Amino acid sequence: MARTAAPRIALATYDPGPRVNHDRDLPVLVEALREAGADAVALRWDDPAADWAGHDLVVIRSTWDYSWRAAEFVAWAEKTGEATRLANPAEVVRWNTDKRYIGDLARAGVPVVPTDYLAPGDPVRLPEAHEYVVKPTSGAGARFAARYTPDQRETATAHVERMRAEGLTAMVQPFVASIDTEGERALQFFGGRLLHASRKGAVLAPGTAYDAEKTAHPDLVPWTPTEAELAVAERALAAVPGRPELLYARVDLVTGADGQPCVMELELVEPNLFLWLHPASLPRVVEAILTAATTG
Ligand SMILES: Nc1ncnc2c1ncn2[C@@H]1O[C@H](COP(=O)(O)OP(=O)(O)O)[C@@H](O)[C@H]1O
Ligand SMILES: [Mg+2]
């Protein structure tokens, strides 16, 4: 009987340079995939020597340096998606790397944090009656995000202009006050089902400069999602244009001004899985990746 070759799976990560790779899931996942019989490797997405076509499946995992190279990254995803199977698919990457997707979700009726977009050249509109957040449409790890009170208009305007000078569009949102007490809930989906959920603390402290380095997921603890949170997360996933097949997704929710959950971020590109916090989830992740590599 012919022996089936081990599925070849590449996990795409980033180049940490002289620092350690912050992706704690990565070594655990590579090891578990190998134990399950796969030929699994972690590769830098921008490694010019990487043979993406030589893999049955490329899973985007921790390409965490893409947010200031978004166009290059989307081009890589499109090329890789033509050469082999890419999860999530390139069209999802294209849509989800630009946070104007929050506007698309809002138009589809999904509750989201209210968002105003300031493209280069737009007049700078900033709230005058309440605290607000300014952040870029291409961002991760709270990079270039800061919160302001109305009397900080000058600093906030400089922040907007600094981003727009780099060609970025700025987003302005009311500061979601509940985050300081209730935090943010991250509902993680894998292989089409809820995998696990976590709660994290607030990232933006008053007065922290936009270019300061922040802790992206502070005080993380396991969380049991409420019915309302699950319903909003599922509505967000159902609103992804073209309803593509998603290997993984993370929906970050906060409690909005109406007391109901709303979407802060829909992370379909490179969500941290927090497997170190949810070790029991590992077998399901491995199984879903193997299934994606060997079927369809
Ligand atoms: N409107 C907001 N109100 C309160 N906190 C916010 C708001 N927008 C962002 N933050 C804080 O900044 C963090 C990063 O923002 P987010 O939109 O999730 O971008 P990313 O995680 O891609 O950098 C959030 O996890 C949250 O703690
Ligand atoms: Mg986030």
Tell me the pLDDT tens digit for each residue of 222-243.
Answer: 999 999 999 999 999 999 999 9
Q: Is the CB of 179 under 6 A from ligand 1?
A: yes
1 occurs within a structural domain = no
Closest CA to 175 of 197, 198, 150: 150
**CA–CA separation, 284 and 296 (whole Å):** 19
Lowest-confidence range among 3-17, 118-132, 149-163, 273-287? Answer: 3-17
If you measure from the C-alpha of residue 10 to the centroid of ligand 1, how many angstroms do you get, rounded to a whole number?
30
**CA–CA separation, 71 and 74 (whole Å):** 5
163 occurs within a structural domain = yes
Work out the number of other CB atoms within 10 angstroms of the CB of residue 128. Answer: 9
Q: Is the CB of 142 under 6 A from ligand 1?
A: yes
Query: 191 and 162 in one domain?
Result: no
Place of tokens 């935090």: 183
156 membership: H or E segment, kind and range: helix 153-165
Which of left, alpha, beta for 214 (phi over 0: left; psi -120 to 50: alpha)?
Answer: beta
Domain that holds residue 139: 116-174
Residue to substitute in 117, 181, 203 for testing ligand 1 pocket (most ligand atoms within 8 angstroms of CB)? 203
Average predicted confidence (pLDDT) for the chain: 95
Q: Is the CB of 156 under 6 A from ligand 1?
A: no
The DSSP output letter for 112 is B
Q: Is the CB of 113 under 6 A from ligand 1?
A: yes
Q: Is the CB of 145 under 6 A from ligand 1?
A: yes
If you measure from the C-alpha of residue 271 to the centroid of ligand 2, how many angstroms do you get, rounded to a whole number?
9
**CA–CA separation, 237 and 244 (whole Å):** 10
Work out the number of other CB atoms within 10 angstroms of the CB of residue 180. Answer: 13
Query: 28 and 163 in one domain?
Result: no
**CA–CA separation, 70 and 52 (whole Å):** 19
Token duo for residue 184: 């943010």
244 occurs within a structural domain = yes
Query: 129 and 87 in one domain?
Result: no
Q: Is the CB of 195 under 6 A from ligand 1?
A: no
Q: Is the CB of 175 under 6 A from ligand 1?
A: yes
Query: 51 and 167 in one domain?
Result: no
Query: 287 and 243 in one domain?
Result: no
Task: Give the residue-averaged pLDDT of 171-177.
Answer: 98
List CB-based neighbours of ion ligand 2 within 5 Å.
265
How do residues 36-51 score in pLDDT, each as one tens digit?
999 999 999 999 999 9
Query: 152 and 30 in one domain?
Result: no
Query: 75 and 151 in one domain?
Result: no
CB neighbours of 278 closer than 8 A, spacing ≥ 6?
188, 195, 196, 198, 222
262 occurs within a structural domain = yes
Query: 83 and 19 in one domain?
Result: yes
pLDDT at 294 over 70: yes
If you measure from the C-alpha of residue 252 to the centroid of ligand 2, how many angstroms do you get, rounded to a whole number?
7
Q: Is the CB of 173 under 6 A from ligand 1?
A: yes
What CATH number does the domain containing 85 carry? Answer: 3.40.50
**CA–CA separation, 60 and 289 (whole Å):** 11
Query: 221 and 128 in one domain?
Result: no
Counting from 1 in the atom list of ligand 1, the atom nearest the Cα of 142 is 23
**CA–CA separation, 60 and 77 (whole Å):** 9
In DSSP notation, 198-246 reads EEE-----TT--TTS---SSTT-EE----HHHHHHHHHHHHTSTT----
3 occurs within a structural domain = no
208 occurs within a structural domain = no
Tell me which residue has its CA closest to atom 26 in ligand 1. Answer: 203
209 occurs within a structural domain = no
pLDDT at 202: 95
Whose atoms come closest to the Cα of 269: which ligand? Answer: 1
What CATH number does the domain containing 255 carry? Answer: 3.30.470.20
Local structure of 284: helix, strand or coil: helix
Q: What is the CA radius of gyration of the chain?
A: 19
pLDDT at 85 over 60: yes
260 occurs within a structural domain = yes
pLDDT at 1 over 70: no
Query: 181 and 170 in one domain?
Result: no
How do residues 112-152 score in pLDDT, each as one tens digit?
999 999 999 999 999 999 999 999 998 777 788 999 999 99
Query: 90 and 143 in one domain?
Result: no
How do residues 45-84 score in pLDDT, each as one tens digit?
999 999 999 999 999 999 999 988 999 999 999 999 999 9
**CA–CA separation, 218 and 73 (whole Å):** 27
As for how many domains the chain has, the answer is 3
Residue to substitute in 204, 263, 270 for testing ligand 1 pocket (most ligand atoms within 8 angstroms of CB)? 204
Residue to substitute in 66, 113, 115, 135 for testing ligand 1 pocket (most ligand atoms within 8 angstroms of CB)? 135
Whose atoms come closest to the Cα of 214: which ligand? Answer: 1
Query: 187 and 129 in one domain?
Result: no
The dihedral sign for the CA sequence 214, 266, 79, 170: negative
